[in-house]
Amino acid sequence: MKDIVIAGYARSPFHLATKGNLAKVRPDDLAAHVVKGLIDRTGVNPDDIEDLILGCAFPEGEQGFNMARLVVLMAGLPISVAGTTVNRFCGSSMQAIHMAAGAIQMGAGDAFICAGVESMSRVPMSGFNPMPNPALCESMPAAYMSMGETAENVGREYQISREEQEVFAVASQQKAGDAQSQGRLADEIVPIPANGATIDADGCLRPTTNLEGLAGLKLAFDENGTVTAGTASPLTDGAAATLVCSAEYAKTNGLTAMARIASFAVSGCKPETMGLGPIFSSRKALERAGISATDLDVIEINEAFATQSIASIRDLELDASKVNLDGGAIAIGHPLGATGARITGKAAQVLQREGGRYALSTQCIGGGQGIATVLEAA
């Protein structure tokens, strides 16, 4: 078995959809800037890249065609580099990492760019022309249930109060605010030209968020529920990318291996409680890595909603002090197709920074799925 590593991670700033500083930036341009930035920062030889695997949750409009191949061309990569666009909704760019790892293990390439992008300004949630299957809608309407409704379902099933969600959200905002003010986010960000300016910092963070302010927000999805905009990730524009290669390739070419990919997994779950997906995928990934939750030093769980994050942390018996050390998606944002690459690259980065041994990145996926990756210090 080959050792496969993450040898680079970069992302754009994340900004609020429609009203943020990236709202007028095309997603293909956004992805191309980040990919080029990753190539420049790692020093990898572009001629050695087998494929650019690009995750996107709603690949239509400006995110359509085969955006990955277009990004190869826009980023100035050699014509020999292939490109494929992958869709596993929110797990798309983590799936890209898994696909690259499998290809390397099979001897089908040594180095891959695994990236993701979503402009929720330019392509709306659910796309421009959603056409659900009528028979499935009738037999299983939950397959098309809104994410907010699923968050409410998880909150009810796990008896997670509004107050508990708000405490979680405030902690995420504070951790992200501290990380930003202390410069822990700056190194991963590739500046993006937009509107005659250079955007080089995140725009979703609200570090002054407090419990009093959250308590005054209206309920977002259910008048009898508990979830508000303050305890959910915002609609976001952004892109992220990782360099995945064999450990041998990294060593031979003088690249810094951030972390070894120890295992990964995907899982299905009930669509109406899709937020529980990380529980099932993480259990599988941890078992495949031969470790338990108590062995984890770093945990990156996508905060689609506070309810599903709390439920996953509770069920997996994760140490909350090791979760999302630099804040999570409630604060930083969740550009659907980009998040998997962000949290996996971030897990590798934090593992390297903190000097731990094992990290977990995991997320829920609309339609009822989960995805997880276990990393080990390189």
Annotated catalytic residues are 90, 334, 364
* Residue in 147, 131, 133, 125 with CA at minimum distance from that of residue 61: 125
Give 240's contacts (C-beta < 8 A, 6+ positions apart). Answer: 9, 10, 11, 12, 34, 93, 115, 116, 117, 338, 339, 341, 342, 345
The kind and range of the H/E element at 364 are strand 358-365
Provide the token pair at 56.
């996107």
∠ CA 34-38-43, rounded to 5°: 155
Angle formed at CA 264 by CA 260 and CA 270, multiple of 5 degrees: 155
Helices (H), the chain: 27-42, 67-74, 92-105, 134-139, 147-157, 162-181, 211-215, 247-252, 277-289, 306-316, 329-332, 339-354
